Structure 1
Amino acid sequence: MTDVIRLLTRAQKLLSAATDDAMRPHGVRIGQNLLLEALWQDDGLTPGDLAARMGVTTPTVVNTAARMEAAGLLDRRPDPHDGRLVRLYLTPLARAAQQPIEDARRRIADHALATLTPTELHRLTRALEKIVKQMSP
């Protein structure tokens, strides 16, 4: 069993490094892409909304958003209807990074999965879904 954990960890590290390298030219770091993906779908979410969608804590989103704002990827603005809330909005820089990042991630996935048969890919996907469900709180 430890071989499976070792292999999963190694695969995750290799995929993360490749993804981080592909996103870095666009000013995006690994992890930030998940926040961007949510905002590319639905701009103007609150940190709490993002945390719920991403399965992380609100402070994690707040800290990530602060770094992204400093990098020029996000703007934080007060909610127009509830002054207690802050909403996160994409900047033009973040919008311009969407297609190149999506293309790069697709190329990485294609490369990583190129040697798997459709049956192997299906089984891997199902197995990973089960692991995620089992390990989720």
Structure 2
Amino acid sequence: MSELLRLFTRTHKLLRAATDAAMSEHGVRVGQNLVLEVLWKHDGLTPGELAARLGVTTPTMVNTAGRMEAAGLLTRRRDETDRRLVRLYLTDRGRDAEAPVQEARRRIEERVTATLTEEERRCLHSALTKIYAELSAGRSDPIL
């Protein structure tokens, strides 16, 4: 394994563990914070609409929505005009999670970039954006 891939893998594991620990303090799992972020801005999307915005498959979103509904973060309701559609709506708990989850994400980002200069942060953001675009281009199974 190349040194860069090894470093990416080890960093990903540590970042995921830190994020999961921070999110779990607010009843949210890793990945669910991304779903919440979209619904905080656009409540009432269908699982397919939400999946498209997040770059995941609809079945993945349906499964995630089921877990989030069980956790009390959102509810599923039939569309009033097209009963074939299901829409996802935040519960009070899901809405109330916004400020603490956003603050936890800010603290994590601050921690992981604390030793970087502003220029290094810009370069890191640019490099990760390019890597993500390259890996997700043309994939039938998008990366989240």
Bin for the TM-score computed over the shorter chain = over 0.9
Q: SS at the partner of 2:25?
A: helix
Equivalent position of 1:118 in the other structure = 118
Q: CA deviation at 1:47?
A: 0.2
Equivalent position of 1:12 in the other structure = 12
Equivalent position of 2:79 in the other structure = 79
Paired letter, 2:86: V
Structure richer in helix, relative to its length:
1
Equivalent position of 1:68 in the other structure = 68
Paired letter, 1:102: Q
Q: Deviations over 1:60-85 (max 9, x none)?
A: 00000001111111100001111110
Equivalent position of 1:96 in the other structure = 96
Runs of 4+ in 1 over 4 A off after TM superposition: none
Partners in 1 of 2:73 and 2:123 — Cα distance? 37
Q: Deviations over 1:81-137 (max 9, x none)?
A: 111100000000111111001001101100100111111111111111111111112
Partners in 2 of 1:73 and 1:92 — Cα distance? 8
Partners in 2 of 1:117 and 1:26 — Cα distance? 30
Give the TM-score normalised by the residue count of structure 2: 0.91
Structure 1 stretches of 5 or more lacking a match? none
Equivalent position of 1:106 in the other structure = 106
- The farther-off stretch of 61-70 and 121-130 is 121-130
Structure 2 stretches of 5 or more lacking a match? 140-144
Aligned residues: 137
Equivalent position of 2:142 in the other structure = none
RMSD (Å), alpha carbons:
1.1
Q: SS at the partner of 1:8?
A: helix
Partners in 2 of 1:112 and 1:65 — Cα distance? 29
Q: SS at the partner of 2:97?
A: helix
Paired letter, 2:48: G
